[in-house]
């Protein structure tokens, strides 16, 4: 096996973890899976008209968006589960926090981007951390952001019920600073990013990639040759008047 020269994780562990992430990637989608996400026929209608594209193009774009959303979740798996192999005592609970370290009393929530939580979600997360400190006074709770506004390990200041609150044991931490905390190496995350293309390439060379395919358009046409009508009928089949719908 190639030597990736990452001092904080073994070659075999990082290879296996990247492979597990790749294996989760989504390559196919059918009409049933597509409709689980309830595509908005009104938006599709606007997209067709405003962008002057045919419905096939618009549906293909929506299919790619859904697949990309699934794969984005798998990247969350990558960020969370890699810490099983890094440092001592890090655990990935089945529920609750994304990461905990019972020995060091760390409780960690990981977010991909600094702007992915709305104010309600942020307040809920913050209050959960406050409750954790009530039962574990020596603990430190962290919101770790992969794509933060800047490199930081700061007190997370929050507005709850119109009042500004903060606690030095509730932190907002960029992923590079979290890697530093776990590994003791300031540039551990940078090193991983540098080696990641090579590791992925090695995994792909060792892995049979599924052929990408989707049957959404074909299955829709079997219901009705008018694709846009077919999407309307899927989304609004029980609505009044849609048994005689024309578009």
Q: What is the model's pLDDT at position 213?
A: 61
Residue 209 confidence (pLDDT) = 63
pLDDT averaged over 10-residue windows placed end to end, the chain, 247 residues: 93 95 83 76 90 86 83 90 91 94 96 82 92 96 95 91 88 96 96 95 80 67 71 80 79
Query: Which structure tokens are listed for 211?
Result: 């052929």
Q: How many Å is the Cα radius of gyration of the chain?
A: 23
* H helix runs in the chain, sequence order: 11-24, 31-36, 41-50, 55-81, 119-135, 175-183, 188-205, 216-223, 227-235
- pTM of the predicted protein model: 0.82
C-beta atoms surrounding 85 within 10 Å: 15
The angle that helices 216-223 and 227-235 make with each other, rounded to 10 degrees, is 80
Q: What are the beta bridge partners of residue 113?
A: 147
How many Å apart are CA 169 and CA 155, to the nearest integer?
7
- Buried/exposed 72-83: b ≥16 CB within 10 Å, e otherwise: eeeeeebbebbb
Q: Which of 139, 134, 129, 143 is nearest to 106 (CA)?
A: 139
Angstrom distances, CA of residue 69 to CA of 16, 73, 74: 23, 7, 9
Question: So what's the pLDDT on residue 223?
Answer: 61
Smallest Cα–Cα separation from 132: which of 124, 123, 140, 121? 140
Question: Residue 200 half-sphere exposure, CB side, CA atoms within 13 Å?
Answer: 11
Q: Quick one: tokens of 189?
A: 């995350």
Of 207, 201, 175, 173, whose CA–CA distance to 86 is shortest? Answer: 175
> How confident is the model at residue 130, as a pLDDT?
95
């Amino acid at each position: 096996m190639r030597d990736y020269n990452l001092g904080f994780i073994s070659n075999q562990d990082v290879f296996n973890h990247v492979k597990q992430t790749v294996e989760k990637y989504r390559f196919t989608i059918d009409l049933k899976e597509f409709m689980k996400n309830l595509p908005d026929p009104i938006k599709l209608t606007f997209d067709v008209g405003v962008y002057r594209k045919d419905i096939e193009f618009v549906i293909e774009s929506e299919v790619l968006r859904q697949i990309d959303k699934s794969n984005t979740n798998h990247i969350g798996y990558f960020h969370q589960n890699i810490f099983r192999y890094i440092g001592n005592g890090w655990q990935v609970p089945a529920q609750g926090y994304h990461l905990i370290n019972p020995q060091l009393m760390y409780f960690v929530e990981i977010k991909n981007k600094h702007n992915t939580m709305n104010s309600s979600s942020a307040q809920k997360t913050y209050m959960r951390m406050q409750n954790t400190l009530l039962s574990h006074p020596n603990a430190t709770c962290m919101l770790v952001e992969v794509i933060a506004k800047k490199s930081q390990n700061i007190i997370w200041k929050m507005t709850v019920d119109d009042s500004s609150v903060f606690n030095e044991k509730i932190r907002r931490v960029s992923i590079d600073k979290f890697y530093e905390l776990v590994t003791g190496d300031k540039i551990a995350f940078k090193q991983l990013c540098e080696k990641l293309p090579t590791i992925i390439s090695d995994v792909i060379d060792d892995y049979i990639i599924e052929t990408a395919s989707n049957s959404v358009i074909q299955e829709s046409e079997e219901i009705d040759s008018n694709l846009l009508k077919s999407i309307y009928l899927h989304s609004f089949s029980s609505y009044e008047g849609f048994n005689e719908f024309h578009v």
